[in-house]
């Protein structure tokens, strides 16, 4: 079950990151609270993964959406944690966009797109 969750998370992050040049975004480091692994129920994580997949699939329908360079495990974890915090309403849409743009300044559109898409789930 956990192995499937990890695989699903990796696939979803890959889909959300799209298909642009991985060297177009330089990003400063930021500290983000990690996903609370032991305090989150499997059901809640499953709902989050389902929403994440739906958002990832929707990016393929938008020609203006460009890949966010998530090339390292640290970057992927940061992004997943940020998306979880938005989905779980630990942060607002504006906070999500601000944190994303602080790290990837050239991807304001993409962070706004993701934040808007999560409102549907």
Q: Which residues contact 81 (CB under 8 A, 6 or more apart)?
A: 32, 33, 34, 35
Contact 54, 48 (CB under 8 A): no
Bin 101: left if φ > 0, else alpha if -120 < ψ < 50, else beta: alpha
Q: What is the dihedral of CA 34, 39, 44, 48, to 10 degrees?
A: 0
Q: What is the pTM of this model?
A: 0.68
Q: Which pLDDT score is estimated for 102?
A: 97
Based on its alpha-carbon atoms, the radius of gyration of the chain, rounded to whole angstroms, reads 13
68-102 pLDDT, tens per residue?
999 999 999 999 999 999 999 999 999 999 999 99
First-last CA distance in the chain? 23
Which residue ranges in the chain fall short of pLDDT 50?
4, 6-8, 11, 19-30
Residue 40: phi and psi, rounded to 5, are -100, 130
What pLDDT was estimated at residue 20? 41
Q: What is the separation of C-alpha 4 from the centre of its chain, rounded to a whole number of angstroms?
A: 18
């Amino acid at each position: 079950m956990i192995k499937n969750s990890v695989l699903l998370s990796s696939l979803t992050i890959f889909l959300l990151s799209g298909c642009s040049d991985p060297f177009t975004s330089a990003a400063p480091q930021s500290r983000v609270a990690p996903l609370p692994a032991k305090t989150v129920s499997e059901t809640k994580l499953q709902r989050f993964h389902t929403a994440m997949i739906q958002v990832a699939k929707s990016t393929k329908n938008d020609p203006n959406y460009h890949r966010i360079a998530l090339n390292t495990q640290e970057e992927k974890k940061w992004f997943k944690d940020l998306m979880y915090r938005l989905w779980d309403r630990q942060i607002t849409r504006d906070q999500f966009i601000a944190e994303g743009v602080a790290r990837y300044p050239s991807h304001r559109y993409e962070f706004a797109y993701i934040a808007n898409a999560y409102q549907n789930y």
